[in-house]
Amino acid sequence: MSENSLPKHVAFIMDGNGRWAKKRHKARSAGHTAGYGALQKIIAHAFKSGVETISFYAFSTENWSRPKEEVDKLLSLMSKALKLAGKKLLDEKIRLVISGDYSVLKPRTVKAISDLIEKTSKFTPYTVNICFNYGSRAEIVNAVNNMISDGIRKCDEKILSKYLYTKDLPDPDLIVRTSGEQRLSNFLMWQASYSELYFTDVLWPDFDEKEFDKAIEWYKTRERRYGKS
Ligand code: IPE
Ligand code: IPE
Ligand code: MG
């Protein structure tokens, strides 16, 4: 069996923050704060390892159905994280992509995010893609509506891909989901057509550099066939 090289794009479904907090008799919000810590560690480590693009599922279109207090916590973590990340992204020349409709955040935050996306847009090759208020179905419907507005009368796979939030990103080679759940939960469903899927019981706040390396080693053993014999 041929060995895969390093994945170019790794995408994370960061799941298990709530269970992590519950185990410690803490509020769910403490789990989300700890999850943010794990995300920062993984970004630094992934780029050091040579992975060029990393995506994180931070908030889904379905997560609005959580209690208001929890939604507010997740939104404020998102705003805070991006505020704090600004300098680092510019200093380290990391491109920021947001997949999803972030216009729901406070106008000041929306402006700061748009500016950061613009200022980092030319940086290569390192890219962080935050999937916020993201769902694959909403993404595809949005793409189709934009195609209609642009007067496109015949669609093909290439055109549709160019209307997705991920238009400038390669498809994920590897998708990692933590916390033992084995589903996509509306995450990058178009882009994941040929992704390798890695599931671990580790809860997201406990997912560290060692766990990341394990996922990469597993990926390297996979044979990617793309339908060929
Ligand atoms: C992932 O952790 C964070 C988000 C979905 C935003 P959860 O909050 O889903 O944690 P569990 O699944 O309840 O443990
Ligand atoms: C998926 O986790 C969404 C994010 C990680 C942001 P959920 O915890 O919302 O997924 P389900 O509801 O268990 O499928
Ligand atoms: Mg969950």
Position 4 confidence tier, pLDDT thresholds 50, 70, 90: confident
Which residues have CB under 8 Å from 220's CB, separation 6+?
3, 4, 5, 6
The pLDDT of 24-41, averaged and rounded, is 97
Is residue 1 pLDDT above 80, yes or no? no
List for the chain the helix, strand, coil content (%; round to 5). Answer: 50, 15, 40
133 as an active site residue: the answer is no
Domain count for the chain, please give it.
1
Q: Is residue 99 part of a domain?
A: yes
Ligand 2, from 181, 186, 188: best to mutate by most atoms within 8 Å of Cβ? 181
Q: Is residue 160 part of a domain?
A: no
Q: Does ligand 2 come within 6 angstroms of the Cβ of 185?
A: yes
The pLDDT of 170-195, averaged and rounded, is 98
pLDDT at 3: 66
Mean pLDDT of the chain: 97
Q: Which residues line ligand 1 (CB under 6 A)?
A: 14-19, 59, 63, 74, 179, 204
Instruction: Please name which ligand lies nearest the alpha carbon of 70.
Output: 1
Place of tokens 């510019």: 90
Q: How far is the CA of 122 from the centre of ligand 1 (A)?
A: 33
Q: Is residue 121 part of a domain?
A: yes
Q: Is residue 142 part of a domain?
A: no
Position 2 confidence tier, pLDDT thresholds 50, 70, 90: low
Q: Is residue 70 part of a domain?
A: yes
Instruction: Estimate to the nearest angstrom the gap between the alpha carbon of 31 and the chain centroid.
Output: 18
126-172 per-position pLDDT tens digit: 999 999 999 999 999 999 999 999 999 999 999 999 999 999 999 99
Position 220 confidence tier, pLDDT thresholds 50, 70, 90: very high
54-87 per-position pLDDT tens digit: 999 999 999 999 999 999 999 999 999 998 999 9
Domain that holds residue 106: 9-136+171-220
Which CATH number does the domain housing residue 43 bear? Answer: 3.40.1180.10
Q: Is residue 213 part of a domain?
A: yes
15 as an active site residue: the answer is yes
Q: How far is the CA of 60 from the centre of ligand 1 (A)?
A: 10
The pLDDT of 41-57, averaged and rounded, is 97
* Atom number, ligand 2, closest to the C-alpha of residue 13: 5
Q: Is residue 13 part of a domain?
A: yes
Q: What pTM did the predictor assign?
A: 0.97
